[in-house]
């Protein structure tokens, strides 16, 4: 669920939306210093959300900063929680059943029982009259929410909980419910009822926009699961889906390299010999360097011996025959599945409900982007050529090879530092000050703030977890964010945003009539069908009804082991802003239907709000919001930004090549049986659009794990980067604290979640000629976005 992509980890970016089987309509959650003394602050207690008011003035909210930055104060607060809150555990995230291992098994059983009751009701809707048919989409959404209430929790727990037994229980619950949901996605009776509903104009014309969007999502996911197939073909669909999972897991878990280590003469290492021999095995006068090690990377970056660098590059990018075979079997099986459901390629199957719509449009975007970015790429290659020319004392500019890249980047950077003098020391920021700054920024933009909330007994999974209520000056409480931001032993190192619960309206569920309509005339106890968890509900000022409010969890790996306040590097500050972009999308994207709320939207749209947040970080108007009382040098900020852009042309080209590779591997080429050659496609792409000549006998794609998790979707991050840049320049660059622009972005894009065509959302935000040019979302719109380019 997470791996590094560009500056921001794309695995960190599409991190929790890895659908490893297709067709999860009802199913899947859609989805990376010191502070003053304590004495003056000991009387502070957590806010009572019901009585809290947003401070319309300076929004200092020092309490928010201090619960992250002052460890002694936080310890006192936890002790206070234990004394004032209920001693009886309330369950993880206030979910009653998730207090122990047995609770996950019980919740799974209850979720299936409850789900089957709703399924029965949907099956019988045609015989129960027009009012029941009108409720079909609502009941499908309730079905999805019933299952996802456990699946989303289990997905979160199996990734972050420190107790291995609970992680295992959560993993079992996740797998069991996903298996059950896969059977629902091929349920012909439910599909038939939904199709009847959508064919009835008298019903459809009563739909709200988000209800219609939810209905279309359910219908498409049925279709992607091969609902139109014969019984025999559906069996084949299930078999192919299982094989995809099998090959995908093998692809992720394998040791892909064909060369396990380098056997080197220490003399060839020159100045690197001492550091490498200190950590790598030495035998018979040779040092053995594992190819997947940091030391092998060091050779590529620091060794002045070109032959040695070439040797290291070839070993790092080697592939054993079995790893190539697994990759190609995965691609061919996906092609077979796509062909089975009537699509020419897996890319066509996957892209039909995305902004891109089809593979041709993705190709148009990427090819246009290559053309737009080529001056920056050529500029960067020229810098490397000059560095190599000077180092080798050549008269002409030499060819730069793949194994030269890291080394001459390093040489060039060092030369620039010597020429321009030392860079200013980069500032560091406390976690609390950044959280406080984010709260201030969101108040400026949306009228929203974070308010610390008390944790009840058993509510959190670790003592480091902080709970924040999200309070809107217009709507009141709109959701909850749990923050697990500090490193600890055994914790994953990636940053991630987990949607534990989405928003939806609940007062019109009509759950009390489930048994009556599902089993008419039968005397059945409702105790058999209790929901897997009792969800708290709230009113939202200005909106009719009762709502289930969103709950999300943010996890990071910020170092706080020194005993003092954790300090964030500038990169880590960007990471926190990025993740909070997802959080705001979840909080503000509150629709009446769970399946189109928040970040449940197209995967090539979901990163836009989070990437946009990265543009705010270092703006002179935003920086003072989180710099607290620490001084920072404007020169240091500019030096950091300049260094970020250095060689970004090369990196962007690499990402484009990888996105094209992903498309070609999932194209019709994969359906050609044994004639499909992943190696040939890779080398041709490098020679045609890459910046470095392909290297024979190398096969890096066997290490490209995103091919499994995000098949045919790798272009998404590049696509959202271009959209985010355009929105930033058009709407926020001049004044990033402009409330009018913030509210326009909220109302035209964020609030819709996945309930509105994202092209319409983006066009509405941009307005003017830009909006008109992209509103149709066709191939020309994709070319337009590609031509906007990425700031390098």
pLDDT of residue 84: 65
| Torsion angle of C-alpha atoms 373, 374, 377, 381, degrees rounded to 10 | -170
Contact of 52 with 424, CB cutoff 8 Å: no
Q: Which of 155, 314, 579, 651 is catalytic?
A: 579
Give the separation between CA 763 and CA 786, rounded to whole angstroms.
15
Inter-helix orientation angle 648-665/678-689, to 10°: 150
Return the sign of the alpha-carbon dihedral for residues 153, 156, 158, 163: negative
The pTM score is: 0.90
| Pair 196, 733: CB distance under 8 Å | no
Residues of the chain falling short of pLDDT 50: 1-52, 56-59
- 10 Å CB burial of residue 206 (0-12, 13-18, 19+) is exposed
404 Cβ partners below 8 Å, 6+ apart?
306, 309, 384, 388, 692
Summarize pLDDT for 333-382 with one digit per residue, the tens: 999 999 999 999 999 999 999 999 999 999 999 999 999 999 999 999 99
Measured over the CA atoms of residue 765, residue 770, residue 776 and residue 778, the dihedral's sign is negative
- What is d(CA 554, CA 560) in angstroms, rounded to the nearest whole number? 17
How far, in Å, CA of 228 to CA of 188, rounded?
A: 8
Residue of 687, 486, 456 whose CA lies nearest to 572: 486
Q: How many CA atoms lie within 13 A of 524 on its CB side?
A: 16
Q: Which residue has 């009141």 as its token pair? A: 476
φ/ψ region of 448 (left if φ > 0, alpha if ψ in -120 to 50, else beta) reads beta
| CATH 3.40.390.10 residue ranges for the chain | 10-36+66-86+429-597
What pLDDT is attached to residue 7? 35
CATH 1.20.1050.40 residue spans of the chain:
94-252
Place of tokens 């009804």: 545
As a whole number of angstroms, the distance between CA 565 and CA 63 comes to 15
What phi and psi, each to the nearest 5 degrees, are found at residue 89? -60, 135
CATH code for the domain defined by 94-252:
1.20.1050.40
Residue-wise DSSP of 552-589: EEEEEEE--TTSS--EE-HHHHHHHHHHHHHHHHHHH-
Query: Which stretches does DSSP call E strand in 677-780?
Result: none
Active site residue 579: yes
Burial group, residue 334, by CB count within 10 angstroms (0-12, 13-18, 19+): buried
| CA dihedral of residues 404, 406, 409, 413 (deg, nearest 10) | -140
Residue 478 near residue 81, CB atoms below 8 Å: no
Domain 10-36+66-86+429-597: homologous superfamily in CATH: Collagenase (Catalytic Domain) (3.40.390.10)
């Amino acid at each position: 669920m997470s791996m590094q992509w560009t500056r921001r980890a794309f695995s960190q970016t599409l991190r929790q939306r890895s659908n490893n089987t297709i067709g999860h309509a009802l199913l899947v959650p859609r989805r990376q210093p010191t502070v003053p003394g304590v004495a003056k602050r000991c009387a502070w207690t957590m806010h009572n959300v019901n009585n809290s008011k947003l401070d319309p003035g300076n929004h200092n909210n020092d309490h928010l900063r201090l619960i992250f930055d002052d460890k002694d104060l936080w310890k006192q607060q936890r002790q206070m929680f234990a004394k004032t809150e209920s001693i009886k555990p309330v369950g993880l995230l206030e979910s009653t059943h998730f207090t122990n291992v047995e609770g996950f098994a019980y919740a799974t059983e209850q979720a299936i029982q409850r789900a089957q009751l709703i399924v029965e009701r949907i099956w019988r809707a045609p015989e129960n009259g027009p009012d029941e048919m009108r409720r079909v989409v609502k009941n499908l959404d309730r079905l999805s929410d019933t299952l996802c209430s456990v699946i989303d929790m289990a997905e979160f727990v199996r990734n972050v909980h420190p107790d291995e037994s609970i992680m295992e229980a959560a993993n079992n619950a996740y797998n069991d419910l996903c298996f059950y949901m896969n059977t629902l996605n091929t349920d012909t009776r439910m599909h038939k009822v939904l199709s009847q509903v959508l064919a009835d104009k008298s019903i459809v014309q009563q739909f709200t926009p988000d209800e219609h969007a939810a209905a279309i999502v359910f219908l498409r996911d049925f279709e992607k699961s091969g609902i139109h197939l014969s019984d025999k073909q559906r069996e084949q669909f299930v078999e192919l889906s299982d094989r995809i999972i099998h090959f995908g897991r093998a692809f992720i878990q394998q040791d892909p390299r064909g060369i396990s280590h380098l056997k080197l003469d220490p003399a060839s290492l020159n100045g690197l010999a001492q550091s490498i021999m200190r950590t790598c095995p030495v035998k018979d006068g040779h040092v053995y360097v594992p190819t997947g090690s940091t030391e092998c990377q060091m050779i590529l970056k620091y060794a002045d011996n070109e032959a040695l660098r070439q040797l290291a590059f070839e070993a790092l990018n080697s592939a054993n025959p079995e790893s190539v075979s697994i990759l190609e079997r995965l691609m061919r099986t996906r092609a077979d599945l796509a062909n089975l459901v009537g699509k020419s390629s897996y890319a066509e199957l996957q892209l039909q409900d995305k902004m891109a719509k089809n593979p041709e449009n993705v190709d148009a975007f990427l090819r246009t982007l290559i053309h737009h970015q080529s001056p920056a790429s050529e500029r960067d290659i020229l810098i490397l050529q000059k560095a190599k020319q000077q180092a080798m004392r050549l008269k002409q500019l030499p060819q730069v090879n793949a194994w030269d890249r890291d080394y001459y980047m390093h040489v060039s950077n060092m030369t620039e530092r010597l020429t321009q003098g030392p860079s200013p020391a980069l500032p560091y920021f406390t976690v609390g000050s950044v959280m406080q700054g984010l709260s201030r920024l969101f108040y400026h933009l949306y009228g929203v703030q974070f308010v610390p909330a008390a944790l009840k007994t058993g509510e959190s999974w670790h003592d480091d977890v902080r709970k924040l209520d999200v309070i809107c000056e217009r709507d009141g409480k709109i959701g909850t964010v749990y923050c697990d931001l500090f490193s600890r032993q055994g914790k994953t190192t990636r940053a991630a945003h987990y949607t534990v619960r989405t928003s939806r309206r609940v007062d019109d569920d009509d759950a009390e009539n489930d048994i009556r309509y599902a089993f008419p005339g039968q005397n059945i106890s409702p105790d058999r069908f209790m929901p897997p968890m009792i969800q708290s509900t709230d009113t939202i000022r200005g909106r009719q009804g009762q709502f289930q409010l969103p709950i999300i969890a943010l996890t990071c790996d910020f170092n706080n082991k020194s005993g003092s306040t954790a300090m964030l590097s500038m990169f880590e500050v960007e990471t926190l802003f990025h993740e909070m972009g997802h959080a705001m999308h979840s909080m503000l994207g509150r629709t009446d239907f769970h399946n189109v709320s928040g970040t449940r939207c197209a995967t090539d749209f979901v990163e836009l709000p989070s990437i946009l947040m990265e543009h705010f970080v270092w703006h002179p108007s935003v920086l003072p919001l989180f710099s607290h009382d620490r001084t920072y040098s404007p020169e240091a900020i500019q030096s950091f930004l300049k260094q970020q852009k250095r060689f970004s042309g090369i990196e962007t080209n690499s990402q484009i090549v990888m996105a094209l590779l992903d498309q070609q591997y999932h194209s019709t080429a994969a359906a050609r049986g044994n004639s499909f050659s992943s190696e040939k496609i890779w080398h041709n792409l490098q020679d045609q659009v890459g910046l470095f000549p392909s290297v024979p006998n190398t096969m890096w794609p066997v290490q490209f794990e995103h091919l499994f998790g995000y098949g045919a979707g790798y272009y998404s991050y590049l696509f959202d980067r271009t959209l985010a840049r355009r929105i930033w320049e058009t709407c926020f660059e001049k004044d990033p604290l402009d409330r009018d622009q913030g509210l326009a972005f909220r109302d035209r894009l964020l609030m819709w979640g996945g309930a509105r065509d994202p092209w319409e959302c983006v066009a509405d935000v941009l307005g003017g000629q830009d909006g008109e040019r992209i509103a149709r979302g066709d191939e020309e719109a994709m070319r337009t976005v590609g031509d906007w380019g990425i700031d390098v």
